[in-house]
Amino acid sequence: MAVEDSRRKQRTDAQYLDAVKNFEAGVRLFQKQGYDKALEFFEKLASGAPPEVGNRARAYLRMCEQKLRPPELTPKGPREYYDLGIAQLNARNLDAALEYLTKAQKAATDQEHVHYALAATCALQGNADAAIEHLAVAIQLRPRNRFLAAKDADFDSLAGDPRFRQLVFSGVA
C-alpha cells in the first residue's frame, strides 16, 4: 500500500513539474507576443493540468484570446463609416456593411456613393425594394451611376426586375 502511494505521488509530482514546465514555456511565448502559440500551451494546461497550474493557464488563455481578437473600430464620421461599410461589403459581411453604410447615409444624406453602396448591399441581401430606392437616389445625385449599375454584378439579382431595368436602361430616375 505504501509503495502504491509513493508511485502515485511520484506520478503526480512528475505531472505537476511537467505542467509547470509547459506553463513557463507558454508564458515565455506570451511575453514574446507569440500569442497564437502560447494559446496552444494554455489550452492544454487549462483542461488537464493540476488546479494550481490550470487556474493560471486559464487566466493567460483569456489574455491570449483578447490579444488575438481584432480591435474594435470606432468610426468618427461618415467617411469612416462608408469605408468600413465598403470593406464589409467586399468581404460579403452584408449585415455589418448595411449597418456601417446606413450610419454613413444618416450622417451625410446627399452622398451618391453611399446610396450606391447601400443599393448594392440591399440587392445582395435580396431586398429589391430598398436596393431600387437607394439606386434611384444614387442615379438622381449622379446620373453616371446608371451605367455603373448596368454592369455591376452586385445587381445581378435585380436584372429581371422591371423597376431596375427602367431605372438603369431607360434613363428614368
Residue 4 lies in a domain: no
Query: What pLDDT is stored for residue 76 in this prediction?
Result: 84
Distance CA 54, CA 112 (A): 56
Query: What pLDDT is stored for residue 135 in this prediction?
Result: 97
* Half-sphere exposure of residue 142: CA atoms within 13 angstroms, side-chain side: 15
Candidates 126, 132, 117, 121; CA nearest to 157 is 126
Distance CA 65, CA 46 (A): 13
Better-predicted residue by pLDDT, 64 or 129: 129
**Same domain flag for 93 and 49:** no
**Same domain flag for 57 and 134:** no
Of 22, 42, 68, the one marking the end of a domain is 68
**Number of folded domains in the chain?**
2
pTM for this predicted structure: 0.59
CATH code, domain carrying 104: 1.25.40.10
Of 68, 87, 119, the one marking the end of a domain is 68
Per the structure, the complete domain to which residue 48 belongs is given by: 9-68
Average pLDDT of the residues of the chain: 88
pLDDT digits (tens, 9 = 90+) for 63-101: 989 888 876 667 788 999 999 999 999 999 999 999 999
pLDDT digits (tens, 9 = 90+) for 53-62: 999 999 998 9
**Same domain flag for 94 and 161:** yes
**Same domain flag for 63 and 82:** no
pLDDT digits (tens, 9 = 90+) for 106-124: 998 899 999 999 999 999 9
Query: What pLDDT is stored for residue 173 in this prediction?
Result: 47
**Same domain flag for 41 and 63:** yes
DSSP string, 140-153: HH-TTHHHHHHH-G
Rg of the chain taking only CA atoms, in angstroms: 28
